[in-house]
Amino acid sequence: MSTLALPTVDEEIWRYSRIGELDLGSFKLGKLSTKVDALSDAKQIVSSTSKVAARTSTDIFEELNGQHAQLTAIATAKNQVVAEPIVITHFLDESGVVAYSRLVVDANENSEVTIVERFVSSANAKSLVVPVVDIRASQSARVTYVAINELGAATWQIGYQQAVGQRDSTMQMFTVALGGDYARMRAEVRLEGQGASAQQVALYFADENQMHDFRTLQDHAAPRTHSNLLFKGAVKDTAKSVYTGLIRIRENATKSEAFQTNRNLTLSNGAWAESVPNLEIETNDVKCSHASTVGPIDEEQRFYLESRGIQPEIAERLVVLGFFDEVLNRLPALPFIAGLRELVSAKLLGAKS
């Protein structure tokens, strides 16, 4: 039995959320069908076990994940470079269940690995998925992680990402969120070693009654660390999105640099987006900036295209795809990543994925 209560919108970290709609007690414990695709050298570093390492829980969902998680663990050796990405696909087709996945990545000194984690559910699976990701990058390690939300329109997701980097490590955290009914991700990076760097990039697109909800933290706890966040989203019909982010520069993190950008397009009168960037700086010798925008498509861009004979609906699609290109171009060059543009186009056209 959990010792924590269900959170409420009165808590700042859950402000604007749809947590009040959730009846956690109505779900029974379920399982995800998980498939790992990797070449032979990468398979050797992937394992699973019924036991999960202890983690400080911030709420009831993390606590329950610790009790019930289906674990995938990846551990690289010192100086090991994994040439091909490890692709993990979780699938859920049952309604009325809550399923917990946990991915733990230990990248040892000077190693390199790319992991793609996909979440897929059937269209009518009215269930809840609670994924937790823990990434630990040792000195000079290089980790790229890509999360792709392709959940069905009836599924909820409440997820957590935490990445910790040591001296001169590099972490790239990408999220593509297109599916789900209410899809929430709390994504945190902590730079503990001098010279560590992190990049957080997300693309999210909500239509009909969907809601995408992101809460981020860039935590600088060592000198000369660097973080860069770029989140871009679009909402149409009566969909909603929320972004709240915090850059925290601790007192000892001198000469650090941190940048945070959130851009949102509202494509319908009934759509709504909220963007709240924040800074918390405890020392002087740093470079930090944050920026956010919420608004409709630039009418000058639309007019330019239409004046050259392009139909209005096609012009809008081109503008939105151009808006997302800045994110798509940063993603790793993997075969199925190219198909994301088609998924975005399908949402713009109102087609079901």
Distance CA 33, CA 58 (A): 27
Distance CA 217, CA 212 (A): 17
Phi, psi of 88 (to 5 degrees): -115, 125
Q: Is residue 124 part of a domain?
A: yes
Distance CA 170, CA 112 (A): 9
Quickly count: other Cβ atoms within 10 Å of residue 234's Cβ. Answer: 26
Evaluate the CA torsion angle 4, 129, 191, 273 in order and state its sign: negative
What pLDDT sits at residue 50? 47
- Its pTM stands at 0.94
Q: Is residue 339 part of a domain?
A: no
Q: Is residue 232 part of a domain?
A: yes
Tokens 């520069």 correspond to what residue?
249
Q: At a CB cut-off of 8 Å and minimum separation 6, what does 238 contact?
A: 208, 209, 268, 270, 271
What pLDDT sits at residue 351? 55
Q: Is residue 98 part of a domain?
A: yes
What pLDDT sits at residue 19? 97
Rounding to the nearest 10 degrees, give the CA dihedral for residues 52, 58, 64, 70. Answer: -40
Q: What is the DSSP letter of 3?
A: S
What pLDDT sits at residue 49? 64
Domain with 149, as residue range(s), is 12-297
Distance CA 114, CA 149 (A): 17
Q: Report how many domains make up the chain.
A: 1
What pLDDT sits at residue 1? 44
In 3D, which of 71, 70, 73 has the Cα closest to residue 97?
A: 70
Q: Is residue 102 part of a domain?
A: yes
DSSP readout, 41-106? HHHTTEE--S-------SSHHHHHHHHH-EEEEEEEPTT-B--S-EEEEEEE--SSEEEEEEEEEE
The pair of structure tokens assigned to 34 is: 């998980």
3-state DSSP assignment of residue 269 = coil
Give the pLDDT of the chain (353 residues) as one tens digit per residue: 456 789 999 999 999 999 999 999 999 999 999 999 888 778 788 987 645 656 678 899 999 999 999 999 999 999 999 999 999 999 999 999 999 999 999 999 999 999 999 999 999 999 999 999 999 999 999 999 999 999 999 999 999 999 999 999 999 999 999 999 999 999 999 999 999 999 999 999 999 999 999 999 999 999 999 999 999 999 999 999 999 999 999 999 999 999 999 999 999 999 999 999 999 999 989 999 999 999 988 888 877 778 888 887 788 888 888 899 899 888 888 777 778 888 888 888 775 44
The pair of structure tokens assigned to 281 is: 């700086």
Q: At a CB cut-off of 8 Å and minimum separation 6, what does 316 contact?
A: 267, 297, 302, 348
Distance CA 316, CA 294 (A): 17
Distance CA 103, CA 50 (A): 12
Q: Is residue 158 part of a domain?
A: yes
Q: Is residue 329 part of a domain?
A: no
Q: Is residue 23 part of a domain?
A: yes
The helix (H) or strand (E) run that includes residue 341 is: helix 340-348
Q: At a CB cut-off of 8 Å and minimum separation 6, what does 64 contact?
A: 2, 98, 100, 130
